[in-house]
Homo-oligomer: A and B are copies of this chain.
Amino acid sequence: MQTHISFTPDFINPPPLQLPSREIGASVEFLGIVRELERGQPLAGLDYEAYIPMARQELARLFTALQALHPCAEVVFIHRLGWVPVGEASLFIRVLAAHRGEALRFLEAAIDRMKADVPIWKRSASAIYQRK
């Protein structure tokens, strides 16, 4: 499986789809977008930080583990860092596989495990303000 993991301070532009083989039957893409209402509080955006070298390593480990459960051909992971305004994506994941079931299972489990174990943090502007 090819894996591409990156972090960017900029607007996420999903890279053009390039199929690694003629055996790809499914491409599943996920964009996580910052919403205005989080726990009932209106937000202007969220601020993200990451422990980048460890996040890379945890993601690589996680993708390898998931690959054994849900064989896929390629995963592209892009997480934005710094300030992300409402309506823009903080996260992009693309999974390519022979079959849609594996791509969907992989994607869903990757997001769940990322949210549990990968050292990335979001904070609302109000939370950041309150700490001062």
Contact = CB atoms under 8 A, between A and B. Distances in A.
Contacts of A23: 35-37
A28 B30 contact: yes
- State the majority secondary structure of interface residues on A: mixed
A122 interface: no
Nearest to A22: B36
A70 interface: no
A13 to B, nearest CB: 11
Contacts of A30: 26-29, 100
A114 to B, nearest CB: 12
Contacts of A35: 22-25, 98
A31 B36 contact: no
A24 B89 CA distance: 10
Given A22-B86, A22-B87, A104-B104, A17 B31 contact: yes
Nearest to A88: B19
Interface string A78-111: 0000000011010000000010100010011001
